[in-house]
Amino acid sequence: MRKGFLDVFVLLMLVAATLLSGCASAPTDKAADEQKGVVIDDQIIIGLSMSDLRVERWQRDRDLFTQRAEALGASVIAVSADLDAEIQNSQIENLILQGVDVLVVIAHDGVKTSSIVEKAHAAGIQVIAYDRLIKDSDLDFYISFDNVKVGEEEAKAVVNVAPKGKYAYLGGSDTDNNAHLVKEGSFNVLQPLIDSGDIEVVLDVFNDGWKSTEAYSQLKAYLDAGNTVDAVVAANDGTALGAIQALEEKGLAGKVPVSGQDASLGSCQSVVEGVQTVTVYKPLSAIAYKAADIAVQFAKGESVESTSTVNNGKIDVPSYLLDVVGVTKDNMMETVIADGFHSYEEVYQNVPASERPATQ
């Protein structure tokens, strides 16, 4: 419930209950209130609006976020729009009507979702953009990773294996600001090599919804036309998976370097098995816990710590950006495994015991 409204409501109920019962003094504890039929609902409710749950990480984000929020005494109503911006907006309007105290949004479409910020504010609810920026609005807070660095790490690892040749760039979803930041990062690394003539970008596409199937079709169509490729910079592990399938059909999996991000279990396995070159590890507990902390601080009207600001086209949004790390075969043990993000057994399950790294 919303605080201001609730406080006035509770006060009126208390006064009415006091008058009706003829008591001289107002009850001071919850039990006494409940005896008089007054319900004091002081629990913070956080509305968590998610673009989709298709990519492995989002379920983990949701669960970690909820765990932390609940540990802080709040409850979470989580909804997923399955990649539909209109559905996401109406789900958010519904959360506003349900009287959530604060909104945390993983926007499918960073532009289309901007209108809900004003609606939330009109109802006295603050909005935190989780992982993906909401553009052109008076957004209250943005928490994410360094997405430009994600793209840089992807391209660096691929260039390390293929410093020259024909490059395919398989981007993320055009409606997601992160897809643009990640691309910016990759091209920070690629552009000097394009300028020197070492690298030629032969395919450069976005993807509707970061779908593996779409990345697969994009690369397959290119290869089926008789074209060749020496390297693939794919924006995340899902698009990497699609690329690897298309390469596999031409007998090229493991021969052409491929990037990704998210450290999904499948991609970590592909990295240690040699069919994916790099994934980028983004510690999800760090973003989920911090976001839950911030949501509760907003709901309580407390001040919130930011590390920087990010301009969303309208304002400089107070932001908190977390670091990322590129993960190859060489540092899998010190990153993903050391952090317990996936277990050694899971990641190396298809690698013969004699070829696995030592655990000590």
Residues that bind ligand BGC (CB under 6 A): 55, 57, 131-132, 172, 176, 178, 210, 236, 261-262
Between the two ends of the chain, the Cα-to-Cα distance in Å is 51
Cα separation of 107 and 129, whole Å?
7
- Scanning the chain, the segments in alpha helix (DSSP H) are 3-21, 30-35, 56-71, 85-97, 114-122, 147-161, 177-195, 212-224, 237-249, 265-273, 284-299, 344-347
Q: Which is nearer to ligand BGC, 45 or 127 (CB)?
A: 127
- Indicate the residue among 174 and 249 with the shorter CB distance to ligand BGC: 174
Please state, in angstroms and rounded to a whole number, the distance separating the CA atoms of residues 188 and 184: 6
Q: Angle between the 237-249 and 212-224 helix axes, to the nearest 10 degrees?
A: 30
Q: Which of 175, 186, 264, 282 is nearest to 232 (CA)?
A: 186
Give the shortest CB-71-to-ligand BGC separation in angstroms: 24
Question: Shortest gap between Cβ of 180 and ligand BGC (angstroms)?
Answer: 10
- 140: nearest Cα among 259, 282, 299: 299
Q: Which is nearer to ligand BGC, 57 or 149 (CB)?
A: 57
In terms of CB distance, is 130 or 348 closer to ligand BGC?
A: 130
Q: Closest separation between CB of residue 350 and ligand BGC, Å?
A: 23
Give the shortest CB-136-to-ligand BGC separation in angstroms: 18
Report which residue type is found at 147: N
Quote the least distance from Cβ 225 to ligand BGC, whole Å.
27
Helix (H/G/I), strand (E/B), else coil: 231: strand
Name the minimum Å distance from CB 319 to ligand BGC: 15
166 or 282: CB nearest ligand BGC = 282
Specify the residue, 131 or 214, whose C-beta has the smaller distance to ligand BGC: 131
